[in-house]
Structure 1
Amino acid sequence: MPLYDLDAAVTRSINGHAGVNAAIDFLMIWVSAIGVPLLVVAVAGQWWRGSDRSHNRHVLVATGLSFLLGLAINQIILLFVHRIRPYDGGITHLLIDRSTDRSFPSDHATATFAIATAFLLHGMRRLGLWFLAAAVLVAISRVYIGTHYVSDVLGGAMTGIVGAILVRSLYREGTRVDRLITSML
């Protein structure tokens, strides 16, 4: 079975549950719509938390940079990949309004996986695992509501993870720039 056929089949199987249960549809639409903003607020709320504020603030800045870098990587990919949405290809039943941009990669998956990965890479395991669970739920919701193929959210997850890894390797804790940024507010 070619990869596209597998991708379409798995996407169809997840989206095939859409429209069956109004409560689950509502939940998935809600998760898809406010998942990223809720995670951003949850991250921002950590700014004043914890006994080791300088480390926490470093992680939060690194998380924001990971988020932005992941989305920037997506914009570069979109210059070369022009994948149509699965609902335009007759693969899925769409539960929300149509999107005007391309399908691959998923910005929602990128953003949420960048957040989770940044926390995990910086040793904040407990929060990182909560953010990872939320990222998986957001990614599934994007397929469930019919706006993405499974490979779109996997690709988005990868760009978020790559963004977090690059930031982890380039933005070092305790540097002059880090101390300046983390001492603000």
Structure 2
Amino acid sequence: MEQAIVSFSISWLKKHFFLRVFVTVLAIDLIYLVPPFLVIYWFWGEKKVALRAVLAGLLAWQGLARLIGWLYFRPRPFVTLAAQEWLFHRPDHSFPSDHATFLSALAVSFYLAGEKKVGVGLAFLTLFASLARMVVGFHYPTDLLAGWLLGGLVAALLFHFKNPIDRFFCQPIIRLAQKLRLA
């Protein structure tokens, strides 16, 4: 079923050049909005919230998603479906989606910390980037769902332990940043 969804979206996108360009930008470049946003938030927002969100995103993405991808290797749709790839991408693991994992961890972290508008905005960014990555053949729908769940669960778990995380992770980093005049 999900192979049919991805095959249809790839073939449909091939017929519409301008839409393909737009979706490609969403699939590849949308993630690059996150670092400048986090830097801006660091200087004008609650530093502990930003640090917890980044910690959740990195743990979910570089920790659990990598481990799951290593334990359960699933090739990307453009490899399995033998689709013509118009974007260069390493043929590494597809499951779970790293982008969906990282972005959903950020969104849920901000939302749970009381930054509802930021969390919802990041959730929309997560949705657009994730769906675009499916449409261009980087992921299957279940890759995205797994990434969303994984990122959200890690963020919720870390939020549950926010006091020790603030004490042993956030506060030392903030003190160091203050000494370096970066906070």
TM-score, reference length from structure 2: 0.86
Unaligned segments of structure 2, at least 5 residues: none
How far does residue 91 in structure 1 lie from its aligned partner after superposition?
6.9
Q: What are the residue-to-residue correspondences of 1:70-149 with 2, within 5 Å?
A: 70-71=60-61, 72-90=63-81, 92-149=83-140
Measured at CA, do residues 104 and 179 of structure 1 come closer, stay the same or move farther in structure 2, by a change above 3 Å?
same
Q: 1:24 aligns with which of 16, 19, 25?
A: 19
Question: Pick from 27, 30, 53: which aligns with 1:35?
Answer: 30
State the alpha-carbon separation in 2 of the partners of residues 92 and 160 from structure 1.
Answer: 29
- Residue 179, structure 1, aligned to residue 174, structure 2: no
Q: CA deviation at 1:75?
A: 1.3
Runs of 4+ displaced beyond 6 Å: none
Residues 69, 94 of structure 2: 8 Å contact kept: no
Distance 1:120 1:83, change over 3 A: same
Structure 2: which amino acid aligns with 1:127?
Answer: V
Deviates more, 1:170-179 or 1:146-155: 170-179
CA RMSD of aligned residues (A): 1.9
Residue 31 of structure 1: CA displacement?
1.5
Alignment counterpart, residue 57 of structure 1, candidates 47, 52, 59? 47
The 2-side partners of 1:25 and 1:57 are apart by 38
Task: State the SS of the aligned residue for 2:100.
Answer: helix
| 156-165 vs 68-77, greater mean Cα deviation | 156-165
Distance in 1, Cα, partners of 2:56 & 2:34: 14
Q: Is the 8 A contact 1:93 1:145 kept in 2?
A: no
Structure 1 residues 91 and 169: alpha-carbon distance in aligned structure 2, compared to 1, 3 A threshold:
farther
Structure 1 residue runs of 5 or longer lacking an equivalent are 1-5, 51-55
Deviations 1:23-63 (A, max 9, x none): 2111111122222221222122111114xxxxx11110001
The alpha-carbon deviation at position 174 of structure 1 amounts to: 5.6
Pairwise CA distance, 1:93: 4.8
Instruction: Give the AA of the match of 1:39.
Output: V
Superposed CA deviations along residues 90-134 of structure 1, whole A, max 9, x for unmatched, are: 175533114231111111111111111111111100111111111
Q: CA deviation at 1:78?
A: 1.8
After TM superposition, the structure 1 = structure 2 runs for residues 5-16 of structure 1, keeping only pairs within 5 Å, are 6-16=1-11
- Measured after TM superposition, the shift of residue 12 of structure 1 is 2.9
Relative to structure 1, the CA distance from residue 176 to residue 102 in structure 2 (aligned partners, 3 Å threshold; closer, same or farther) is: closer
